[in-house]
């Protein structure tokens, strides 16, 4: 057996004393480190998807729509279809990113990489595990929305600087989905649920929350239903902010709706995380 050479006392216990730094920040570091190995694929989707969407929906479909809009221009807020659809795609993408980031990565951290368990063996507490991951999702949402707004500006689909307000709004929209989804991902045992959620919830929301056309185009009863969906609030909020309506009561209502989803998600997630990680 090879005898190891090391300074005597190398293993002698010396537990660190003093206050420990904010622990959720330490959990957040894991996600940064982990991102270093996956950033290439992620960068691609961050830049390429918005460009493709804006090109096809905004310019392609938009060209057709604008051409036939005629006297009905008011229905799209008197702008081009591109300016109408850009905030919609922004918040719908935020929703999808939020759902994605809070599904497989959460389940993987519990079941495959077991990184949550590794964190729980250290001074990091379960709430820190949760907040650290949510902080990462927030950063990722924010960065992606920032890029999207930048690309939209290049397409002349929005006007800066007021379009910058759409960034926190879309981030909030994404979080409104991500936090409850994280709670659910920690709860369920089978990842088959993810594709069910995607098919039955995310795709219909994507299509019918005012993303691509005003809700007024829907039959009356569906309009009412659509107004209750979270994505509608995100889309409408982004669109209002982008068109320069800032401090309105309606906007406050949208923010309150989305913030409630985040808060309820946190309460639910604290429960499911605790149940899963501290049996």
Partner 1 sequence: MDVLPDVIVEARGLQKFFGEVEAVRGIDFSIQRGEVFGFLGPNGAGKTSTMRMISCMSPRSAGKLLVRGHDPAESGSEIRRGIGLVPQDDALDSEMSVLDNLHIYGRYFDIPRKEIRARAKVLLEFAQLTDRADSKVDNLSGGMRRRLTIARALISRPELVILDEPTTGLDPQARHLVWERLYQLRREGVTLIITTHYMDEAEQLCDRLVVMDRGLIVGAGTPRSLIEKTVAREVVEVRLDDGNYLSLVDRLGDHIDRAEILGDRLCCYGEDGDQILDLILALGIHPASSLVRRATLEDVFLFLTGRSLVD
Segment lying near partner 1 (by CB under 8 A), choices 109-117, 175-183, 238-246, 247-255: 109-117
Minimum distance between the CB of residue 129 and partner 1, rounded to whole angstroms?
Answer: 10
Check binding of 119 to partner 1 (CB under 8 A). yes
Is 114 a binding residue for partner 1 by CB under 8 A? The answer is: yes
Name the residue among 59, 60, 80 with its Cα closest to residue 69: 80
For residue 123, state whether it binds partner 1 (rule: CB under 8 A).
yes
Residue 5 binds partner 1 (CB under 8 A): yes
CA-based nearest residue to 257, from 277, 278, 237: 237
DSSP-assigned letter for residue 19: P
Nearest approach, Cβ of residue 34 and partner 1 (Å)? 7
Q: Binding of partner 1 at residue 249 (CB under 8 A)?
A: no
Q: Which of 45, 122, 248, 250 binds partner 1 (CB under 8 A)?
A: 122
**Binding segment for partner 1 among 15-23, 98-106, 167-175, 216-224 (CB under 8 A)?**
15-23
Residues making up the chain, counted from first to last = 279
Instruction: By CB under 8 A, tell whether 41 contacts partner 1.
Output: no
Tokens of 46: 């961050």
Alpha carbon 118 to its chain centroid, in Å, reads 25
Minimum CB–partner distance for residue 106 and partner 1 (Å): 15
Is 76 within 8 Å of 215 (Cβ atoms)? no
Q: How many residues bind partner 1 (CB under 8 A)?
A: 40
Decide: is 11 part of the binding site for partner 1 (CB under 8 A).
Answer: yes
Considering just the CA atoms, what is the radius of gyration of the chain in Å?
Answer: 22
Q: Does 270 bind partner 1 (CB under 8 A)?
A: no
3-class state of residue 227 by DSSP: helix
Q: Interior CA angle at 13 toward 7 and 15, to 5°?
A: 125
Rounded CA-CA distance 274/277 in Å is: 5
Site string for partner 1, 18-37 (x = CB under 8 A): --xx-x--xx-xx--xx--x
Interface pick for partner 1 out of 48, 52, 75, 118 (rule CB under 8 A): 118
Give 235's contacts (C-beta < 8 A, 6+ positions apart).
87, 88, 91, 92, 173, 209, 210, 211
Binding status of residue 247 toward partner 1 by CB under 8 A? no
Q: Quick check: 132 and 106 in contact, CB under 8 A?
A: no
Residue 117 interacting with partner 1 (CB under 8 A): yes
User: Which residues lie near partner 1 (CB under 8 A)?
Assistant: 1-2, 4-7, 9-16, 20-21, 23, 26-27, 29-30, 33-34, 37, 112-115, 117-125, 277-279
């Amino acid at each position: 057996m090879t005898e190891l050479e090391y300074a005597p006392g190398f293993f002698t216990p010396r537990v660190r004393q003093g206050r420990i730094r904010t622990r959720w920040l330490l959990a957040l570091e894991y996600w940064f480190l982990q991102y270093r190995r996956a950033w290439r694929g992620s960068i691609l989707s961050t830049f390429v998807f918005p460009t493709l969407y804006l090109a096809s929906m905004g310019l392609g479909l938009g060209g057709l729509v604008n051409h036939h809009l005629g006297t009905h221009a008011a229905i799209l807020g008197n702008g081009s279809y591109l300016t109408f659809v850009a905030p919609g795609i922004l918040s719908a993408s935020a929703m999808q990113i939020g759902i994605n980031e809070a599904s497989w990565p959460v389940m993987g951290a519990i079941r495959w990489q077991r990184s949550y368990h590794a964190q729980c063996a250290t001074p990091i507490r379960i709430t820190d595990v949760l907040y650290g991951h949510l902080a990462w999702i927030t950063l990722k949402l924010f960065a992606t929305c920032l890029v999207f707004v930048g690309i939209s500006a290049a397409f002349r689909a929005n006007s800066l600087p007021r379009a910058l307000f759409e960034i926190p709004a879309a981030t909030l929209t994404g979080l409104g989905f991500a936090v409850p989804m994280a709670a659910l991902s920690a709860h369920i045992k089978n990842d088959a649920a993810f594709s069910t959620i995607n098919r039955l919830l995310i795709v219909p929301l994507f299509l019918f929350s005012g993303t691509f056309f005003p809700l007024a185009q829907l039959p009356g009863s569906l309009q009412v239903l659509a107004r209750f969906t979270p994505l509608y609030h995100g889309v409408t909020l982004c669109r209002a902010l982008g068109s320069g309506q800032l401090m309105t009561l309606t906007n406050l209502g949208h923010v309150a709706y989305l913030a409630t989803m985040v808060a309820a998600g946190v309460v639910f997630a604290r429960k499911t995380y605790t149940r899963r990680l501290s049996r």
